[in-house]
Structure formats: structure tokens, C-alpha cells
Structure 1
Amino acid sequence: MEPTNYYHIFLCFFFCYAFSVLPVSIVFLTEAKRVGFSVELIHHDSPKSPFYNPKLTPYEKVFNAIRRSFSGVNQFNQNVAQADIINNRVSYLMNISVGSPPFPILAIADTGSDLIWTQCRPCTQCFSQKDALFDPRKSSTFRKLSCFSRQCKALERSSCSNDQTCLYSVSYGDTSFSNGDLAMDTVTLGSTSGPPVPLTKTVIGCGHKNAGTFNDKTSGIVGLGGSEVSLVTQLGDSIGGKFSYCLTPFSFSLSKNNTSSKLNFGTNGVVSGSSVVSTPLISKELNTFYYLTLEAISVGAKKIRFVDSSSSKGNIIIDSGTTLTFFPKLFNSKLIPALSDAIDAKAVKDPNGLLDLCYNFRTDFQVRIPDITVHFTGADVKLSPLNTFIRVTQEIVCFTFKGSGGAHSIYGNFAQTNFLVGYDRQKKTLSFKPTDCTKA
């Protein structure tokens, strides 16, 4: 959804929480610490997704992904104090279940917001969805939370019902919203590395009034941000503060080879090895997002110092839900000429009018792309052409870094493709490891 997106995936995540870990079953805690688990991230345009449209060409899908990215960054910059993702920006989906017995839900994996919520019966105002709505009265483990509970007070916006139970309210930058009961129930995650993982006493939102730009193919949101009620924070010590994801290349996500991106928790989320580089996660008042410090970008041997409006620590958000990487126009006005000078070819215009630098890339002409390295504090991340250029037509490729007039820089998912990206809450670090995510 939109950062108000995102995450264009899943994925910015956990560090800094002011309250004690929310309760999860003791059996699960022991198991998660011992083995960890992984879940599948379903790309918006993959054959596994309900959004898949076989009639669209690969280039039309690229255009749609880029367009969603622009929608997302606009909402990051317009409404950063709110939860920030709605359907136009969805990049990744997750299959989860809620309640006892488990009720299956296809939810948007949202690194730009926190609360896990789904539409619930009875619904006074619900957006249309093809699947059945969750009925909390049929779940033996569903319990409403008191408006005096720690979890209720942790919400940015909450109120008391007549029976003194907690009512939540979340809104998004495109005017979409969800209102309902804050509750606890069992959330079950489908694991790619073993049996389904039940998380008991997980805080969720049971939405009875929801509207906006939601699509009928999904039922709710799994918030993966950094505040107290997100899925990642609620897992807490059960995952040892560790989480990672590996995003497959865009073209691979569209293929029918049944390989998806992965989201890893606990011991499965450890990122280690000689090729790993790490940078500090920076805590800010708005702890939904995950902030890094970008110092410079090198194009070949030329190093361009990063300067934005803040010029301070935590000057860029990492987000798996935003497709492109967005920088201030002032910085991009230095980066684009440096890249253009290093490429021995004539630039052409983006036929869609969206991207800043494009080249004609015919089968008999290979554009030689120089090495591009992103210099975070303590971590030099060398990107491949797969991270920095995308084919927008049969003949034209374009640079995936874009100048923006917004207040926030965003490190998007094209730049994270084929890296194992690991978040460590305990150490407050984020790590990058070059990885073939199609085989991870």
C-alpha cells in the first residue's frame, strides 16, 4: 500500500521498542530460537498473485511497478506521521491465517505500517473482497483488549468503546482507513521450511469499518514496521531480534518457475559470511520506518558525496515496498551526469516520461554500465546492473534511481534485489550480503 507506503516489500523492520515484548506462546519461543522459519513473499505481478494478468507484457508490468513506486514515495513525503501503504503500492503479499481454527487470509506485507489487521464480521462498512470475511465469533482464541491495556496505549490513535474495550483507527495518505476492535488471537504463518508456525496471543486489528483504495483480492495488512504492534516487534526475543529477506529479480518474479522471494525469521534470518557488510539502523521518533545513513555513491572511481535537506544520520529510509530508489533532485543532478559521462552511448528519453536516464539497448549493442557503489556508514554495497537499470521496452533500459522533490530519500527494492538483507534489532544493524535469491 502507500507509505502514508509502503514498501513499495516487504520490506524496513524492527529496532527500538518502548514496551516489553508482547506475549507469544512459550512452545513457539523455544522452537523459533532453535530453528527459525521462513515465509514466502508473493510478488504483486507473479503467477502466484491474484493480481497476475497474463495479458500484460513484461514491459507493461515494469511500467505499472514504477508507477506504483511514484504513488508510494508521494505518500511517504506527504504524510510521514501516519501508516503509509495502500493498494497502489503493494509489492509483496503473504498467506497467513487468523483465529482457531485457522482462517486463511491473503494480506499485503507492508513495511510502511505496523498493525496486523483484517476485515471482520459484522461489517458496518467494508470494501469489497472476493474471499469470505473473518468472523471473530467463530474463533475460540479471539479476545478483545481493554482500552487501558499497554497495547491499546501503544497505538497512535485509539479510543474506548462503551464496554471499555479498545478501538483502533489507522489511516493512510490516500484517505484509505481501517477502524475496529483491537484484539488478541492466534496468527499462523505458512512456513517454507517446515510446518505452519502458530503465534498465540498476537495483537491484531479486527476491522469493522474499512474503505479507500483497497482491492477485492486481499483481506488486510501484515504490518512489518518497527513499532510495538508490528508482527516483527511482537515476535520479539522469539526470533533473537533477527530477520532477513531475499528479493528475486523482477523478471524472475514474473516467470512461472515457482520461485518466490523469502522472508526469514530467527536463526533462518541470520546474515553471515565474509562478503557481509553492515551499517547502523538509526532510531527516530517515527519508529515505523527503518533509517540508514547514506554518505556517498561512487560511479566507477568518481565518488559523489550525498547531501540532502537533513545532511545527518538516518537520512534515507530502506523500504522493500518501493520499487525505485529516490534521492533529492539536487543530488540526482550530480549523479546522473557522472553516470552519463561514464557510459559511452547516447542517452534517450524514457518513452513513459518517468525516469531520468535511459539508453537504447539493442541485441547488437551492449551498453557498458560502470560499477556503482552505495556507501552507507560502515558498509560499501556494490550494485550490479540488475540493481541499477531496468528494461522498459524491448530496446530501452533506464536508470532505477530517480530525483524527487520529496522530503525523504528511499532505498527501494530494485537496489536490494539479489542481496540477503538482514535486520538485527539487538545489535541495531542492517546487513547486506550478495546472494542469488533465486536459489536462496
Structure 2
Amino acid sequence: MAVETSTYHQLNVERIRKDFPILSREVNGKPLVYLDNAATSQTPQVVIDCIVDYYQNYNANIHRGVHTLSQEATEAYEASRKKIQQHFNAKHPHEIIFTSGTTHGINLVASAFESQIGKGDIVLISALEHHSNIVPWQMLCEKTDATLEVIPMNTKGELILSEFDKLVSKQPKIVAVTHISNALGSIIPIKYIISESHKNGAAVLIDGAQACPHIKPDVQDLDVDFYVCGAHKICGPTGIGMLYGKEAWLNKLPPYQGGGEMIAEVTFEKTTYAGLPHKFEAGTPNISGGIAFGVALDYMNSIGFENIAQYEATLLHYATEQLLQIDGLKIYGTAAEKTSVISFNVDNIHPYDIGTILDKLGIAVRTGHHCTQPIMDFYNIPGTVRASFSFYNTKEEVDLFVTALKKAVMMLS
């Protein structure tokens, strides 16, 4: 199922909001103001319809099936892979591996890299990483006696590139960094990091979970070796994502899981593996999710990522100005290059308490450490309140949020 691919020449937010059924509901008797987009975006009707259509009309397992339903499902699933390839400008469709999400993609690469890393080798990550881009590399280092090193950050929430230059000169085997910080919104200069890493012989994995809702990465232009993301932050369903890998790397790495689909031939004596992408896609996949992923990208592209970026930048600026008028409010993450995320605390009020009152007033934000405990430790705080904005949010919603926040602060002070 496809959506219109003509672009909105000017982003019409009221029209767009009608595409999202959930935005018309109430929470605790108040209109829902959904500002938790960095955790998951909402789902437009066209994506919901796609999932329903699959289960109503051609639900079947894919690949190798000779019957009509299987062939229809296979064609739709592989057409979605092609859409994802085109969206990210991968060279080949088989460089797109379907995963259950960003975390799965990182674990796949980290596990497979056990074949590439030994005692004394270095894995380089950054201080801005989500736990999903920390723990798999720690596990790899524990298995291989490799060393995990960390690019430090400054108080603005930016990586200290002079320190990166020193660390990358030690020739790590792989550098794994986020494209955009989920906790702070900082945009990382990944093109520079990729280029310098390659000069020093390192492969590079980029965690694009927070970037893909806001920008359209070109993996060939970036010259990145691996790029991962999940569909659920890009208006798609949960439980589906993608790993892009350069063909040469994917051919070099061993399979992550064994089972059906990823084999060429199996005997009790020996198994040979299928070619790409099936080598990394063991078992029955999330078929409806894979198809819907492509429809979600169609929807996002119909709006246009330049339109999205410009509008969200306006929202970020407006919300930042409004929030800074509140006495005692401190924003964490003031990088020069930043996307539409505001992480903050107010005086000594615990973020959980603020979030709880905001929820009573219909405002959905995220509170806590956002799976980035090292960042919170750096600032010596237990967590933050995080408001994250999407292209379907409005300035009126920002006003409702700020008014509710002032009420919460007054109640908790």
C-alpha cells in the first residue's frame, strides 16, 4: 500500500495532525499533548491501514512459498526493502538487513565483530551513547579482552573532537557513535568522525535512532560502514528496524543467529549459509512491520525532511524561549547543532514528580536518565524531564505544556 509522494510545499500542521488518530484523544480529561517523540513517534492512519491490510488480505510467510498469498507477501516485503535502500541511498537492496530495531542492529554487528577483534584491540564509543550503544560493546570487550575507550563530552553536550583525534590515532578496530543524542538532542559531526576513523583503519557504526525522524541520512555520502535505526521513531511500527552494512563488511562477518531462512544447505555434518541479506535474517520476520516500515518512509517523504527540519527548528526555538522564562529551570544540552529535544530540570524538584503532574494535565513527556546514565553522572543529576517535538506538534501545544509546567512547579515548590 503506497501513499502520495508529492511533497507538501509548505508544512500544513493542521492537515498533518488529522493523519494521526491518537492526537485527537484525551488523557485525564485533557487534550493529549504528546511530547515524547524521542521515545517513539505516533503512527499515521496510512501505516495502521497497511498493517490491517496485510493481516486481512495476504497474511502468509514469505520467501519460497509457491502459493499466491506467500508470493504477494514476499513481493510487498522485498518492495519495502527497496524503499528503505532508496531512502538511505544504499548501493544495493541486500545491504539492508531487517532487524527488530536499533538495539538488534547494534548487537548483530557487535556480536559478529568478535571475529575481527582480539586481546589489546580498542573499541571506541562516545560519552553521549544510549545504553544500547554501550552495553553490546562492553560485552564484546569482555569476550575478547579488547579495551573500550570513550570520547569525552563538554558541558554543552558536544563531543570534544580534539580528544577524539587522540583516541582514534590509537587505531581502534571499530568506532560506534550516535548520530544525535537521545538525551540532549546534540547533533554529532559524524562525517568527520567517519572520515578520521577510516584514515586510522577503523570501521564505523552509527546509531541513527534519533537522527532518522529529523534528517535523511545518505549512507554512501557519509561513507559509513554500518548504520542502524528503528521504524518506530519514524512513524512506523515497533519491533522493526534496519541495519545498513556495506556489502564487503556483511560478506566478511559471520551470521548472528542460526535457523531457517539464513541457510543455503543443511546436513547434520555441515551447514552453508545463504547470501545477503538472508544470511542475517534467521527465522520468520515481522512481515507486516517490514512492509509498514516502507509505507512510513513514504509518508515522511511526502511531507519532506527539509520541511520537517525547518518546522521542528522553529518549535525548538519557541519552546526554549518559553521554558527559559521559568525561574530555576536549567536546560541540559546546549550544543550549537541540536535537534528538537529539550532536557531540563527545575531547581531541586525531582523530574519524576514533574512528569507525574504533567501527565495529570494531559502532557506526555519522558522523565529519568533516558538510558544514558553516564550523561546524567557527568552532570551529577538523577535524570531530567525531556520534551521532544515532532512535525505534528504545534506552538499551541508548547503553550499548554509551559502552562502545565508552571503549575507543576508551583505545586512542588
TM tier, shorter chain?
under 0.3
Higher-Rg member (1/2): 2
Higher helix share: 2
Higher strand share: 1
Q: What is the TM-score normalised by the length of structure 2?
A: 0.26
